[in-house]
């Protein structure tokens, strides 16, 4: 007979939910090696690596345009806190990685926000972290989006205009005035 005082307390695991999208996902099936809607337990000392090389990467993207190792996620605990986080590192020498509005070059790394959009090439990955207490393990759970996660990737981010109505860092042509262009003219 086990008394409540002697029973182990079950720790919850931090879970990183990742929703994947690529415009050609149905034709090229680049996500066929990922297990969708299943939680996978990973040891805390193991990186979650994504890329096309199945000998090196834990999670494979079956696309010749993806780097052998595209990026890695490392689970860690913040210093002097009980808060767990993930760090993302770009492992591709050829492709920059965008995490929300931050661009990462080769070997650059940052803390992964609790919810963010990772983009490289035509890939869009929405990540969302669900907190847990375990220091020994974390989980990954993958989902597949049917629609783009980011509608207009090519539009520049809008910057606020000060109350004066002018924005000093806008650059115009050499005559310092806006130039009107016909919509059919090349840039």
**Residues with Cβ < 8 Å from 37, sequence gap 6 or more?**
141, 142, 143
**Containing structural domain, residue 117:** 14-144
Lowest-pLDDT choice from 25-29, 86-90, 151-155: 151-155
For residue 57, pLDDT beyond 70: yes
User: How many helices (H) and strands (E) in the chain?
Assistant: 1, 12
Query: For the whole prediction, is pTM greater than 0.85?
Result: no
Asked whether residue 155 is domain-assigned, the answer is: no
Arithmetic mean of pLDDT, 134-140: 94
Q: What is the separation of C-alpha 21 from the centre of its chain, rounded to a whole number of angstroms? A: 11
Maximum distance among all Cα pairs of the chain, rounded to whole angstroms: 87
Asked whether residue 23 is domain-assigned, the answer is: yes
Which tokens go with 46? 């193991």
Asked whether residue 171 is domain-assigned, the answer is: no
Q: How many domains does the chain have?
A: 1
For residue 117, pLDDT beyond 80: yes
pLDDT confidence of residue 10: 76
**Residues with Cβ < 8 Å from 32, sequence gap 6 or more?**
62
Exposure pattern of 149-169 as b/e (b: 16+ CB <10 Å)?
Answer: beeeeeeeeeeeeeeeeeeee
pLDDT band (50, 70, 90) for residue 6: low
Beta bridge partners of 84: 77
Asked whether residue 163 is domain-assigned, the answer is: no
Order of all β-strands in the sheet with 14-21: 39-43, 137-144, 14-21, 123-130, 115-120, 97-99, 102-104
Asked whether residue 165 is domain-assigned, the answer is: no
Average pLDDT, the chain: 83
For residue 100, pLDDT beyond 90: yes
Asked whether residue 128 is domain-assigned, the answer is: yes
Q: 32 or 180: which carries more pLDDT confidence? A: 32
The domain that holds 100 is classified in CATH as: 2.60.200.20
For residue 15, pLDDT beyond 90: yes
pLDDT confidence of residue 159: 45
For residue 143, pLDDT beyond 90: yes
Lowest-pLDDT choice from 20-29, 53-62, 170-179: 170-179
């Amino acid at each position: 007979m086990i008394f409540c005082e002697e029973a182990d307390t079950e720790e919850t695991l931090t879970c990183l939910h990742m929703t994947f999208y690529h415009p050609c996902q149905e034709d090229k099936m680049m996500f066929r090696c990922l297990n969708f809607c299943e939680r996978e337990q990973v040891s805390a000392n193991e990186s979650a690596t994504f890329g096309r090389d199945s000998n090196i990467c834990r999670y494979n993207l079956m696309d010749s345009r993806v780097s052998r190792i595209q990026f890695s996620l490392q689970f860690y605990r913040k210093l002097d806190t009980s808060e767990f986080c993930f760090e993302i590192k770009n492992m591709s020498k050829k492709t920059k990685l965008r995490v929300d509005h931050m661009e990462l070059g080769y070997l650059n790394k940052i803390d992964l926000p609790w919810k963010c959009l990772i983009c490289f090439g035509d890939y869009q990955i929405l990540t969302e972290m669900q907190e847990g207490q375990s220091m020994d393990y974390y989980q990954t759970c993958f989902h597949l989006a049917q629609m783009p996660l980011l509608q207009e990737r090519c539009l520049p981010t809008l910057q606020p205009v000060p109350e004066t109505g002018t924005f000093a860092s806008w650059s115009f042509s050499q005559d310092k005035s806006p130039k009107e262009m016909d919509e059919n003219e090349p840039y």
